[in-house]
Structure 1
Amino acid sequence: MNNKTYQDIAKGFVCKLTFSVSITMFLYCQPYLMYSVVTHDLKYTFIFGILALFCFGSIISESANIWYKENAIAHIKQAISICSPHLSNLEIKELNSQFARVKTRNDYILLDKKLRELAANNQLDLPKFDIL
Protein backbone atom coordinates (compact mmCIF):
# COMPACT_ATOMS: atom_id res chain seq x y z
CA MET A 1 0.00 0.00 0.00
CA ASN A 2 1.20 3.51 -0.73
CA ASN A 3 1.37 6.53 1.58
CA LYS A 4 -1.85 7.98 0.10
CA THR A 5 -3.71 4.95 1.43
CA TYR A 6 -2.50 5.60 4.98
CA GLN A 7 -3.25 9.32 4.68
CA ASP A 8 -6.84 8.40 3.70
CA ILE A 9 -7.01 6.04 6.67
CA ALA A 10 -5.89 8.82 9.03
CA LYS A 11 -8.58 11.13 7.65
CA GLY A 12 -11.19 8.55 8.57
CA PHE A 13 -12.98 8.54 5.25
CA VAL A 14 -12.60 7.10 1.78
CA CYS A 15 -13.38 8.87 -1.49
CA LYS A 16 -15.62 6.56 -3.49
CA LEU A 17 -15.75 8.61 -6.71
CA THR A 18 -13.54 6.20 -8.68
CA PHE A 19 -15.70 3.31 -7.57
CA SER A 20 -18.88 5.08 -8.73
CA VAL A 21 -17.34 5.98 -12.08
CA SER A 22 -16.24 2.37 -12.64
CA ILE A 23 -19.71 1.02 -11.91
CA THR A 24 -21.32 3.62 -14.19
CA MET A 25 -18.91 2.78 -17.03
CA PHE A 26 -19.49 -0.95 -16.53
CA LEU A 27 -23.28 -0.54 -16.63
CA TYR A 28 -23.06 1.84 -19.59
CA CYS A 29 -21.04 -0.71 -21.62
CA GLN A 30 -23.33 -3.66 -20.99
CA PRO A 31 -26.12 -2.86 -23.50
CA TYR A 32 -23.57 -2.12 -26.23
CA LEU A 33 -21.69 -5.31 -25.47
CA MET A 34 -24.89 -7.38 -25.59
CA TYR A 35 -26.00 -5.70 -28.84
CA SER A 36 -22.64 -6.33 -30.50
CA VAL A 37 -22.77 -10.01 -29.43
CA VAL A 38 -26.30 -10.45 -30.80
CA THR A 39 -25.46 -8.76 -34.11
CA HIS A 40 -22.17 -10.69 -34.37
CA ASP A 41 -20.19 -7.47 -34.76
CA LEU A 42 -16.84 -8.85 -33.57
CA LYS A 43 -15.01 -5.53 -33.65
CA TYR A 44 -17.43 -3.87 -31.22
CA THR A 45 -17.80 -7.04 -29.17
CA PHE A 46 -14.04 -7.01 -28.65
CA ILE A 47 -13.89 -3.27 -27.86
CA PHE A 48 -16.82 -3.26 -25.42
CA GLY A 49 -15.73 -6.60 -23.94
CA ILE A 50 -12.27 -5.22 -23.15
CA LEU A 51 -13.82 -2.03 -21.75
CA ALA A 52 -16.25 -4.04 -19.60
CA LEU A 53 -13.38 -6.22 -18.28
CA PHE A 54 -11.33 -3.13 -17.48
CA CYS A 55 -14.26 -1.56 -15.59
CA PHE A 56 -14.98 -4.81 -13.75
CA GLY A 57 -11.31 -5.12 -12.76
CA SER A 58 -11.35 -1.52 -11.57
CA ILE A 59 -14.47 -2.22 -9.47
CA ILE A 60 -12.82 -5.25 -7.84
CA SER A 61 -9.58 -3.36 -7.16
CA GLU A 62 -11.34 -0.31 -5.71
CA SER A 63 -13.59 -2.53 -3.58
CA ALA A 64 -10.55 -4.22 -2.05
CA ASN A 65 -8.92 -0.84 -1.41
CA ILE A 66 -12.06 0.54 0.26
CA TRP A 67 -12.44 -2.64 2.34
CA TYR A 68 -8.83 -2.37 3.57
CA LYS A 69 -9.11 1.32 4.46
CA GLU A 70 -12.39 0.89 6.31
CA ASN A 71 -11.00 -2.06 8.29
CA ALA A 72 -7.77 -0.20 9.10
CA ILE A 73 -9.77 2.74 10.45
CA ALA A 74 -12.05 0.48 12.48
CA HIS A 75 -9.06 -1.45 13.86
CA ILE A 76 -7.32 1.62 15.31
CA LYS A 77 -10.57 3.11 16.67
CA GLN A 78 -11.46 -0.21 18.30
CA ALA A 79 -7.94 -0.57 19.76
CA ILE A 80 -8.14 2.90 21.30
CA SER A 81 -11.59 2.08 22.72
CA ILE A 82 -10.36 -1.20 24.21
CA CYS A 83 -7.39 0.50 25.87
CA SER A 84 -9.28 3.63 26.97
CA PRO A 85 -10.37 2.43 30.45
CA HIS A 86 -6.69 2.22 31.37
CA LEU A 87 -5.73 5.60 29.88
CA SER A 88 -6.20 9.20 30.95
CA ASN A 89 -8.21 11.59 28.80
CA LEU A 90 -4.96 13.25 27.75
CA GLU A 91 -3.47 9.91 26.61
CA ILE A 92 -6.62 9.12 24.61
CA LYS A 93 -6.42 12.54 22.93
CA GLU A 94 -2.73 11.94 22.17
CA LEU A 95 -3.51 8.56 20.54
CA ASN A 96 -6.33 10.08 18.49
CA SER A 97 -4.01 12.91 17.47
CA GLN A 98 -1.29 10.45 16.47
CA PHE A 99 -3.85 8.54 14.40
CA ALA A 100 -5.00 11.72 12.67
CA ARG A 101 -1.37 12.55 11.78
CA VAL A 102 -0.58 9.19 10.14
CA LYS A 103 1.14 9.85 6.82
CA THR A 104 2.90 6.56 6.01
CA ARG A 105 2.58 2.83 6.55
CA ASN A 106 5.37 3.08 9.12
CA ASP A 107 3.39 5.71 11.11
CA TYR A 108 0.42 3.34 11.13
CA ILE A 109 2.59 0.40 12.24
CA LEU A 110 4.13 2.47 15.07
CA LEU A 111 0.68 3.49 16.33
CA ASP A 112 -0.56 -0.11 16.14
CA LYS A 113 2.54 -1.30 18.01
CA LYS A 114 2.03 1.34 20.71
CA LEU A 115 -1.60 0.27 21.16
CA ARG A 116 -0.59 -3.41 21.31
CA GLU A 117 1.97 -2.62 24.00
CA LEU A 118 -0.63 -0.68 26.01
CA ALA A 119 -3.05 -3.57 25.70
CA ALA A 120 -0.43 -6.15 26.70
CA ASN A 121 0.59 -4.09 29.74
CA ASN A 122 -3.04 -4.10 30.89
CA GLN A 123 -3.77 -7.77 30.00
CA LEU A 124 -6.13 -6.78 27.19
CA ASP A 125 -6.58 -8.59 23.88
CA LEU A 126 -6.70 -6.58 20.67
CA PRO A 127 -8.18 -8.07 17.52
CA LYS A 128 -5.70 -9.21 14.88
CA PHE A 129 -5.30 -6.99 11.83
CA ASP A 130 -2.91 -7.71 8.96
CA ILE A 131 -1.28 -4.47 7.87
CA LEU A 132 -0.51 -4.54 4.15
Structure 2
Amino acid sequence: MPIAVGLLMDHDAHGRQALAAGLRRRGMQIIEAGTATEAFELAQFGRLQFVVANSDRHPDAINLCRDLRASTATAALFILLLSSEAGQAEAVATAGATMLMAKPVSAEAIAATIHRMLPNLANDIVDGHRL
Protein backbone atom coordinates (compact mmCIF):
# COMPACT_ATOMS: atom_id res chain seq x y z
CA MET A 1 0.00 0.00 0.00
CA PRO A 2 1.40 3.45 -0.85
CA ILE A 3 2.28 5.81 1.95
CA ALA A 4 -0.68 7.90 3.04
CA VAL A 5 0.10 11.60 3.45
CA GLY A 6 -1.89 13.60 5.93
CA LEU A 7 -2.10 16.52 8.27
CA LEU A 8 -2.75 16.30 12.00
CA MET A 9 -4.17 19.35 13.79
CA ASP A 10 -4.34 19.50 17.58
CA HIS A 11 -3.84 22.46 19.92
CA ASP A 12 -2.25 20.15 22.49
CA ALA A 13 1.36 19.78 21.34
CA HIS A 14 2.07 16.72 23.50
CA GLY A 15 -1.03 14.86 22.30
CA ARG A 16 -0.39 15.88 18.69
CA GLN A 17 3.22 14.69 18.78
CA ALA A 18 2.28 11.37 20.37
CA LEU A 19 -0.46 10.67 17.83
CA ALA A 20 1.74 11.79 14.93
CA ALA A 21 4.49 9.41 16.09
CA GLY A 22 1.98 6.56 16.28
CA LEU A 23 0.69 7.25 12.77
CA ARG A 24 4.24 7.48 11.43
CA ARG A 25 5.04 4.09 12.95
CA ARG A 26 2.14 2.77 10.90
CA GLY A 27 3.66 4.01 7.65
CA MET A 28 2.03 7.41 7.29
CA GLN A 29 3.70 10.69 6.43
CA ILE A 30 2.31 13.29 8.85
CA ILE A 31 2.50 17.08 8.80
CA GLU A 32 1.64 18.67 12.16
CA ALA A 33 -0.27 21.88 12.87
CA GLY A 34 -1.11 23.46 16.20
CA THR A 35 -3.93 25.71 15.00
CA ALA A 36 -6.71 25.60 12.43
CA THR A 37 -5.19 28.57 10.61
CA GLU A 38 -1.83 26.83 10.33
CA ALA A 39 -3.52 23.59 9.23
CA PHE A 40 -5.52 25.34 6.52
CA GLU A 41 -2.45 27.11 5.16
CA LEU A 42 -0.42 23.89 5.10
CA ALA A 43 -3.26 22.00 3.43
CA GLN A 44 -3.39 24.47 0.54
CA PHE A 45 0.14 23.65 -0.54
CA GLY A 46 0.47 20.01 0.40
CA ARG A 47 -0.42 16.92 -1.53
CA LEU A 48 -2.53 15.60 1.28
CA GLN A 49 -4.91 12.68 1.28
CA PHE A 50 -6.41 13.23 4.71
CA VAL A 51 -6.72 15.55 7.69
CA VAL A 52 -7.18 14.43 11.30
CA ALA A 53 -8.26 17.14 13.74
CA ASN A 54 -9.01 17.08 17.45
CA SER A 55 -12.28 18.90 17.99
CA ASP A 56 -12.36 18.67 21.81
CA ARG A 57 -13.11 22.09 23.28
CA HIS A 58 -11.94 23.68 20.03
CA PRO A 59 -14.53 24.96 17.56
CA ASP A 60 -11.52 25.63 15.35
CA ALA A 61 -11.64 22.02 14.13
CA ILE A 62 -15.22 22.47 12.91
CA ASN A 63 -14.26 25.76 11.24
CA LEU A 64 -11.21 24.09 9.68
CA CYS A 65 -13.46 21.41 8.25
CA ARG A 66 -15.79 24.02 6.72
CA ASP A 67 -12.85 25.96 5.29
CA LEU A 68 -11.27 22.83 3.78
CA ARG A 69 -14.56 21.88 2.11
CA ALA A 70 -14.95 25.41 0.73
CA SER A 71 -11.50 25.45 -0.89
CA THR A 72 -11.14 23.83 -4.29
CA ALA A 73 -7.63 22.67 -3.35
CA THR A 74 -8.88 20.66 -0.37
CA ALA A 75 -12.59 20.01 -0.94
CA ALA A 76 -12.13 16.28 -1.61
CA LEU A 77 -9.89 15.45 1.37
CA PHE A 78 -10.82 12.72 3.83
CA ILE A 79 -11.44 14.67 7.06
CA LEU A 80 -11.53 12.75 10.32
CA LEU A 81 -12.51 14.63 13.47
CA LEU A 82 -11.70 13.21 16.91
CA SER A 83 -13.82 14.09 19.93
CA SER A 84 -14.56 12.90 23.43
CA GLU A 85 -17.50 15.30 23.64
CA ALA A 86 -20.97 13.86 23.17
CA GLY A 87 -23.33 15.58 20.79
CA GLN A 88 -20.85 16.66 18.12
CA ALA A 89 -22.22 14.43 15.35
CA GLU A 90 -24.57 17.10 13.96
CA ALA A 91 -21.91 19.83 13.96
CA VAL A 92 -19.43 17.47 12.31
CA ALA A 93 -21.90 16.47 9.60
CA THR A 94 -22.88 20.08 8.96
CA ALA A 95 -19.24 21.09 8.65
CA GLY A 96 -18.64 18.39 6.05
CA ALA A 97 -16.32 16.03 7.92
CA THR A 98 -16.02 12.59 6.40
CA MET A 99 -16.04 10.85 9.76
CA LEU A 100 -16.10 11.37 13.52
CA MET A 101 -14.26 9.01 15.87
CA ALA A 102 -14.88 9.01 19.61
CA LYS A 103 -11.90 9.48 21.90
CA PRO A 104 -10.03 7.84 23.37
CA VAL A 105 -8.89 6.20 20.15
CA SER A 106 -5.56 4.64 19.28
CA ALA A 107 -3.21 5.57 16.46
CA GLU A 108 -3.66 2.00 15.25
CA ALA A 109 -7.44 2.42 14.93
CA ILE A 110 -7.06 5.80 13.20
CA ALA A 111 -4.49 4.41 10.75
CA ALA A 112 -6.67 1.38 9.99
CA THR A 113 -9.66 3.63 9.32
CA ILE A 114 -7.66 5.90 7.03
CA HIS A 115 -6.15 2.98 5.09
CA ARG A 116 -9.59 1.41 4.75
CA MET A 117 -11.21 4.64 3.54
CA LEU A 118 -8.58 6.08 1.19
CA PRO A 119 -9.04 3.55 -1.64
CA ASN A 120 -12.79 4.17 -1.52
CA LEU A 121 -12.39 7.94 -1.65
CA ALA A 122 -10.79 7.85 -5.09
CA ASN A 123 -14.02 6.31 -6.43
CA ASP A 124 -16.16 9.05 -4.89
CA ILE A 125 -14.37 12.02 -6.44
CA VAL A 126 -15.35 13.63 -9.73
CA ASP A 127 -13.63 16.77 -10.98
CA GLY A 128 -11.92 17.23 -7.61
CA HIS A 129 -15.15 17.14 -5.59
CA ARG A 130 -16.56 14.48 -3.32
CA LEU A 131 -19.88 13.08 -4.56
Please give the range of the TM-score, normalised by the shorter of the 2 chains.
Answer: under 0.3
Which structure: greater helix fraction? 1
Relative to its length, the structure with more strand (as a share) is 2
Higher relative contact order (CA 8 A, sep 6+): 1
TM-score (norm 1): 0.27
